[in-house]
Chain A
Amino acid sequence: MLGTGILKGMLETAKNFAGSYHDPARLTTVEYPEQRIASKENARQFPFLVHDTEDPMKGLRCVACQICEKECPPQCIYIVKSKDKRADYKGQMQLYPVTFDIDLSVCMSCQICVEVCPFESIKMDTEFELSNTDRFGGLLVNKHQLAKSNDHYRKIHPSEAAASDAALAVEVAKAQAKAKADVEAKAKAAAEAKAKADAAAAATPVGAVPSAPQPSSPATGPAAAPAA
């Protein structure tokens, strides 16, 4: 009969309409600014720079290698390398970024900077309310605004952060083992040199053999991370 299909369809709409009063599963929307859906663990919005110490600028993991700047598809990262070096989390002397800017209006949240970073220093934030009233300066995010602590990273991406901490702990362990081996090798070399000098019958007295430099302590680094 003509019209049966229409009536059937009307019945479906009626079911949905009535159902929305009884079944909470049918109410699929939330009242956004008041109600919020918890963000997904994998969610990504805008990058941030991870730091390990109290002072964000001193503890930035970034070593200004500029790989992310090169790989960034829309070219929204701008880095200026430092002239001097400073010790990183494992005590190795590294450059650091004097300037690290990301243009918020250009970034397309693709996460490629995170993937190519070999130093676990740039990660994705889940903050999505990024609008700004200043359309020029406000959209160029500098390194002070980008720096966020490792604890923040652990909070927003727990499993990813655990993997990253574990990877860094391995690096630190390697660096410590290497430093220890270096110290031993230097001590051995020093001992040999001393023995040689002694054997040289003190004709030309050698001055004090300089003691091997101690590696700086990585106690503040992620070696103290729970995964370690």
Chain B
Amino acid sequence: MDAPANRTVQSVGQGREGELLEVAMGPQHPSTHGVFRMDVVLDGETVVKLKPVFGYLHRNHEKIAENTSYLGSMPYTDRLDYFCSLSNNWAYALSVEKLAGLQVPERAEYIRLITAELTRVLNHTCLAGFLLQDMGALGTPLMYAFREREKILDLIESLTGARMMCNYMRFGGCRCDLPPGWLDEAKKVVAEYPKFLDEFDALLSGNEILMARTQGVGKLSAELAISAGITGPMLRASGVDYDLRKVDNYGIYSRYPFRVPLGDHGDVYDRYMIRMLEMRESLKILEPALNDIPDGPVVDPKAKLRGFRPKPGEAYGRIESPKGELGFHLISDGSPNPYRYRVRPPSLINLTILEDMCLGQTIADAVITLGSVDIVLGEVDR
């Protein structure tokens, strides 16, 4: 309704064309996935400048680890990317094993592969739900995703004793063996999971609103992705074939054939689809692995729990975590604590590219672009 001519009410923008508006999105904004702030400069609705501000969840992880024993840091790694604590455990255990020269028994390698792939499925399921939540599909997709996530969390809880803070891997193996009947339950969950993915695809992947909302939004070119050190599904969505499971062949990934899905456009839709496809590939690894798992010990008998002191040296262990390359760089001086402990967090490094993806887009697109990067603030801030 137009205001009467004799009144002096002005709309906010009137007479202010061309002026920029600076908005602090977050740290309490619900779609920033935790305590993350974007200082956005807007021209109307268009983003002209975006500065990510983080550190609100900083808890001195690296320095705490340098003052704790090697074993004592293991539960802290759970708290980096709290959706994928088992992947974090594995990356840390891998670098300490490199440092101390420990061998991992066959059964433990299988358990690690199985738990890591379950974690990948879990993470991507959550991400799909949260991304849709950011786009305004309130409730339904997220609740469907969480319903399935709960099945995997139940498996993880009966194995490790905790739903999210697992603290399960140990240097040279795993903490405990699989409980009786666990494999059958896991097989059941893995066998039923494609049904959920089909349902989710039918619900969303062909949805015209979703396509219109995400295609061509938040584009990232392959050159920029490579030069910025982006890893994980984000890099693969830009069409770069780089998966540490193939490149490094850590663990026993070489035994199972799986494909690496690649995107064409590097937009939000590609990033979403890559994750949906990766879940199917993970299930393809899980199915035979759950059948092949041999009997045997789950931990290297040479590994010491108390008084663990690796020889002086340096090691970098990395894995393809669900979010990208997760690495731990350790320097030992022969004492029970690491001399230097450094995490290479995929969330943080993938976040550095946020401004380039958001420039020229609307503020609503910045939200879903951030959602498609898949960050966990526990890992960004450490």
**Residues on B with beta carbons closer than 8 Å to the beta carbon of A67:** 306
Q: Is the beta-carbon distance between B306 and A108 smaller than 8 angstroms?
A: no
Across-interface contacts of A109 in B (CB, < 8 A): 162, 165
Residue contact B68 to A73, C-beta cutoff 8 Å? yes
Q: Chain B: interface secondary structure?
A: helix
Q: For the complex, is A2 an interface residue (Cβ under 8 Å from B)?
A: yes
In the complex with contacts A16-B144, A116-B305, A42-B75 CB distance below 8 A: no
Known contacts A28-B147, A109-B165, A115-B305: A2-B208 contact under CB 8 Å: yes
Query: Which of B69, B72, B140 is the most central at the interface, judged by chain A CB atoms within 10 Å of its CB?
Result: B72
A6 touches B75 (CB 8 A): no
Instruction: Report the nearest A residue to B211, measured CB to CB.
Output: A5
Known: A28-B150, A73-B72, A73-B73. A42 touches B159 (CB 8 A): yes
| B104 close to chain A: CB less than 8 A | no
Count residues of A near B (Cβ-Cβ below 8 Å).
30
> Is B39 part of the binding interface, using a Cβ–Cβ cutoff of 8 Å?
no
By the criterion of a CB under 8 Å from any partner CB, how many residues of chain B are at the interface?
A: 35
For window 1-47 of A, CB contacts with B under 8 Å fall at 2-6, 8-9, 11-13, 16, 28, 40-44
* Contact across chains for B206 and A12 when beta carbons are under 8 A apart: no
Provided the pairs A28-B147, A40-B157 are in contact, do residues A5 and B206 lie with their beta carbons within 8 angstroms?
Answer: yes
State how many angstroms separate the Cβ of A27 from the closest Cβ of chain B.
10
Inter-chain CA distance A6–B68, complex, in Å, is: 53
Q: Which residues of A contact B208 (CB under 8 A)?
A: 2-6
The reply on A197 being an interface residue by CB < 8 A is: no
Question: In the complex, which residues 107-156 of chain A have their Cβ closer than 8 Å to any Cβ of chain B?
Answer: 108-112, 115-116, 118, 124
**Chain A's nearest CB lies how many Å from the CB of B140?**
6
- Residues of chain B within 8 A (CB-CB) of A184 are none
**Does chain A have a CB within 8 A of B176?**
yes
Given A8-B202, A9-B202, A71-B306: A112 in contact with B158 (beta carbons within 8 A): no
State the 3 A-B residue pairs at the shortest beta-carbon distance, nearest first.
Answer: A110-B75, A5-B206, A73-B72
Q: List 6 A-B residue pairs with CB atoms under 8 Å apart, sorted by A's residue number.
A: A8-B206, A40-B161, A43-B157, A43-B161, A73-B72, A116-B71
Given A28-B150, A116-B306: 15 more A-B contacts, CB < 8 Å? A5-B206, A5-B208, A6-B209, A8-B202, A8-B206, A9-B202, A9-B203, A9-B206, A42-B158, A43-B162, A72-B72, A73-B73, A73-B76, A115-B175, A115-B305
Question: Which residues on A are within 8 Å of B, measured CB to CB?
Answer: 2-6, 8-9, 11-13, 16, 28, 40-44, 67, 71-73, 108-112, 115-116, 118, 124
